[in-house]
Structures are given as C-alpha cells and as structure tokens.
C-alpha cells in the first residue's frame, strides 16, 4: 500500500511539471519575417517566460513573439520553446494550483 501511494504521488507530480504550452509565432502586420533553419548563426538572442493556467491550456501572459520581433527589427529568426529548470521548479510548486510556465527563446539572424 505504501509503494502504491509513493507511485501515485510520483506520477501526480509529473503532471505538475508537464503541460500543453502554445506559443503564437507571428510577425507584426507591417513586417515580413522568415523562419530559418538551426544551422544559421544568431546575432542576438532574446526571450521571455510565458505563464499559463490549467497546466498550459490558457495563457495568462502574452504568448506571442511579435514584441521581440519589433524590438530588434528582425527579418530572419529562429524560435525555441522549452521548459528550463526554473520553469520545472515553478510548475512543480504552483502546479497544484494549475499554474505553469514555459520559456521562449528567439534568435535573430538578420
């Protein structure tokens, strides 16, 4: 019985640090922006943390990258979404309340 409880809690904690995170990759209406392959060298890297409710179902903060594109006047970019160690810790602590985070990194090539 004790092993079953430990297994149940371990599986339940995995749900706290996982989720279905959505990032909207769009450029502002006045700019043409292209996605490039991962072999291109980035000149500038910028990123942000996105907060979600219901384990990633509903974004609480802005989940688009258009503000980063405008800030750097980017024409060619690479976008990576990942769950870092800090995101996992936040999601583990706040996962009980259905709050989770994800990180977005935008690399400006040109």
Position 16 scores a pLDDT of 64
At 105, is the pLDDT very low, low, confident or very high (cuts 50, 70, 90)? very high
Cα(58)–Cα(21) distance, rounded to whole angstroms? 8
Q: For residue range 46-87, what is the model confidence (pLDDT) as tens digits?
A: 999 999 998 788 999 999 999 999 999 999 999 999 989 998
Q: How far is CA 20 from CA 7, 43, 73, 106, 107, in A?
A: 23, 30, 30, 20, 23
Q: Is 26 exposed, middle or buried (0-12, 13-18, 19+ CB in 10 A)?
A: exposed
pLDDT at 91 over 70: yes
Better pLDDT: 17 or 9: 9
């Amino acid at each position: 019985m004790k092993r079953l409880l430990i297994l149940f809690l371990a599986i339940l904690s995995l749900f706290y640090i996982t989720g279905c995170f959505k990032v909207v990759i769009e450029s502002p209406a006045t700019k043409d922006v292209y996605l490039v392959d991962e072999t291109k060298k980035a000149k500038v890297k910028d990123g942000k943390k996105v907060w979600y409710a219901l384990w990633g179902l509903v974004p609480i903060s802005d989940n688009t990258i258009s503000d980063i594109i405008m800030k750097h006047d980017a024409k060619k970019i690479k976008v990576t979404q990942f769950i870092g160690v800090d995101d996992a810790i936040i999601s583990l602590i706040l996962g009980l309340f259905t709050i989770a985070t994800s990180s977005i990194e935008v690399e400006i090539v040109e």
